[in-house]
């Protein structure tokens, strides 16, 4: 084993070098890991006299398990968590020890209790040398841990490009699925790992793969506001109209999250700005109006959204904006010539809704835009009658010259009961 120890023992290094605190802590940490492993295997290897002379270091000052092979221990003995020596070597990026262990018969695909192989750990810790050594000894790149992740999933999640490339050229399933049906591309997109995403797409992965919630990588990128990732996915043919289980397209998610750049990008890429969403009713503009996202309302209108589109219950974006009290959304919609007298299937028009909310400032806006308060539709009463019946006379303040005649009240008396 000494042939691999370019720096010899810690004792000799201390006699010629002054170690920095960072290196001291690093050495103590790796020594603790090594001792923990030796003491936890069954039967345990007890190192009763630990001293600097028995701690060996390689050329990168990594600590080696100096007593393991001297005592001819089984290279596949595992600790209580199922970790074999090769797992520790892979985690530490220790290709020299990994080489020795493999020569001594260590199982290259040993799985600890959660199913992680040494190749999983090499992928997680960006240990390219160890990974190459493992695959040269026929490590299986498609073995899965408990959640179904392959080493490629792990490398993609952490964005380790070299280790994304390695399983890909060794026969790994590029579109392999976890238990939740997520692919390596999903995980790379979630972390915004651009180079890993680019390599996976160039390698031919499916950009439209859906996970168990029917989220594609484009849905994930859109929801997380990753503009450049969205551009990459669209360049490689990502589908703009795929629906999640809740019925949302990527544009719905961009509208809900308020990602304006992505809204423009999707619209320029010919996304359907009027696509019905969850339960086959909510278009992106309805969603933005419902949540009071005034800047999003303006952006969607500029991208061609129809301000007069009605969902299955007859609600238009203006109804939702009035109901929410989103003043600027109402202004934006009126600028695009929205129909101010349109009523939903219940019979309410925007003026009725503003009256029910008791919001004088909101009611003034459609009135200034031409809304008549004495038109009787749907519910069998006018907005003005509704105001008086609700005893909210203080809401009625009209622009000069637009005061309605009290004759429109007919025989109704203030305070009379009405059925709503």
Q: Give the CATH number for residue 28.
A: 1.25.40.20
Per-residue pLDDT 10s for the chain (420 aa) are: 334 344 566 566 666 667 677 766 766 666 666 666 665 555 555 444 455 555 656 666 555 554 555 555 678 888 889 999 999 999 989 898 899 899 989 999 999 999 999 999 999 999 999 999 999 999 999 999 999 999 999 999 999 999 998 866 678 899 999 999 999 999 999 999 999 999 999 999 999 999 999 999 999 999 999 999 999 999 999 999 999 999 999 999 999 999 999 999 999 999 999 998 876 568 999 999 999 999 999 999 999 999 999 988 889 999 999 988 898 999 999 999 888 888 888 778 887 787 777 777 777 787 777 776 666 665 566 666 666 655 444 444 444 444 443 333 233 332 333 232
Q: Are 30 and 62 in contact (CB under 8 A)?
A: yes
Q: How many helices (H) and strands (E) does the chain have?
A: 21, 2
What whole-number distance in Å separates Cα of residue 174 and Cα of residue 168? 7
Q: 3-class SS at 64?
A: strand
Please, which residues bridge with residue 377 across strands? 381
Domain count, the chain: 1
Residue 247 lies in a domain: no
Q: Which structural domain range is residue 43 located in?
A: 1-140
Contacts of 334 by beta carbon, 8 Å cutoff, 6+ apart: 318, 340, 365, 366, 369
Q: Would you say residue 12 lies in a domain?
A: yes
The predicted pLDDT at position 305 comes to 95
pLDDT score at 342: 82
Both structure tokens of 72: 């001819």
Contact present, 250 and 266 (Cβ < 8 Å)? yes
pLDDT at 206: 92
The terminus-to-terminus CA distance of the chain in angstroms comes to 88
- Which residues on adjacent β-strands are paired with residue 57? 63
Two structure tokens written together for 17? 């070098």
d(CA 116, CA 15): 40
| Pair 386, 355: CB distance under 8 Å | yes
Residue 6 lies in a domain: yes
| Residue 347: predicted pLDDT | 78
pTM of the model: 0.76
Query: What torsion do the CA atoms of 53, 55, 57, 63 make, to the nearest 10 degrees?
Result: -170
Q: Residue 339: what pLDDT?
A: 87
Contact 316, 338 (CB under 8 A): yes
277 CB neighbour count, 10 Å cutoff: 23
Query: Contact 197/228 with Cβ under 8 angstroms?
Result: no
CA–CA distances in Å: residue 285 to residues 31, 105, 303: 60, 63, 10
Q: Which two tokens stand for residue 397?
A: 């303040």
Give the integer Cα–Cα distance in Å for 274 and 285.
8
CA-based nearest residue to 217, from 200, 203, 98, 90: 200
pLDDT at residue 313 in the model: 85
Q: What would you measure as the largest C-alpha separation in the chain, in angstroms?
A: 107
Q: What pLDDT shows up at residue 193? A: 96
DSSP string covering 358-413: T-HHHHHHHHHTT--TT--BTTTB-HHHHHHHTT-GGG----TT-PPPGGGGTT--
DSSP string, 312-334: TT---HHHHHHHHT-HHHHHHHH
CA geometry: angle 81, 87, 91, nearest 5 deg: 115
Q: In whole angstroms, give the CA distance from residue 201 to residue 294.
A: 36
Please provide residue 191's backbone torsions phi and psi, each rounded to the nearest 5 degrees.
-90, 0
Instruction: Report how far Cα 407 is from the mean position of its chain's Cα atoms.
Output: 59
Q: Which residues pair with 64 in a beta bridge?
A: 56
Would you call 400 helix, strand, or coil by DSSP? Answer: coil
7 in any annotated domain: yes
Per residue in 249-286, pLDDT (tens digit) is 999 999 999 999 999 999 999 999 999 887 656 899 99
């Amino acid at each position: 084993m000494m042939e691999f120890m370019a720096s010899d023992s810690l004792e000799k290094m201390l006699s010629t070098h002054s170690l920095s605190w960072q290196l001291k802590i690093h050495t103590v940490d790796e020594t603790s890991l090594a001792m923990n492993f030796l003491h936890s295997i069954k039967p345990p290897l007890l190192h009763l006299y630990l001293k600097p002379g028995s701690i060996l270091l390689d050329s990168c000052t990594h600590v080696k398990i100096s007593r393991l092979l001297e005592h001819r221990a089984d290279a596949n003995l595992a600790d209580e968590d199922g970790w074999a020596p090769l797992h520790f070597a892979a985690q530490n990026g220790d290709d020299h020890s990994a080489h020795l262990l493999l020569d001594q018969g260590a199982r290259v695909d040993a799985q600890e209790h959660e199913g992680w192989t040494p190749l999983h750990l090499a992928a997680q810790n960006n240990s390219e040398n160890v990974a190459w050594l493992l695959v040269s000894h026929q490590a299986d790149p498609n073995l899965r841990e408990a959640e179904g992740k392959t080493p490629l999933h792990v490398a993609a999640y952490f964005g380790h490009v070299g280790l994304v490339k390695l399983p890909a050229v060794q026969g790994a399933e590029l579109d392999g699925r976890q238990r939740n049906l997520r692919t390596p591309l999903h995980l790379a997109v979630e972390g915004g790992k651009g180079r890993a995403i680019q390599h996976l797409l160039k390698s031919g992965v499916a950009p439209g793969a859906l996970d168990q919630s029917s989220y594609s990588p484009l849905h994930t990128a859109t929801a997380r506001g990753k503009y450049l990732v969205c551009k990459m996915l669209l360049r490689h043919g990502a589908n703009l109209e795929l629906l999640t289980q809740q019925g949302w397209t990527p544009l719905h998610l961009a509208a809900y999250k308020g990602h304006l750049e992505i809204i423009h990008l999707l619209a320029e890429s010919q996304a359907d700005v009027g696509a019905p969403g969850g339960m086959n009713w909510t278009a992106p503009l309805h969603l933005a109006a419902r949540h009071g996202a005034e800047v999003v309302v303006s952006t969607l209108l500029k991208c061609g959204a129809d301000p007069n589109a009605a969902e299955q219950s007859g609600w238009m974006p203006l109804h939702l904006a009035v109901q929410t009290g989103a003043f600027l959304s109402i202004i934006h919609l009126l600028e695009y010539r929205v129909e101010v007298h349109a009523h939903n299937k219940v019979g309410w028009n925007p003026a009725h809704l503003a009256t029910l909310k008791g919001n004088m400032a909101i009611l003034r806006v459609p009135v200034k835009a031409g809304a008549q308060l004495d038109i009787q539709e749907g519910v069998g009463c006018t907005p003005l009658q509704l105001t008086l019946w609700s005893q909210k006379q203080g809401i009625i303040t009209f622009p000069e010259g637009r005061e309605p005649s009290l004759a429109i009240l007919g025989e109704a008396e203030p305070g009379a009961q009405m059925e709503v």
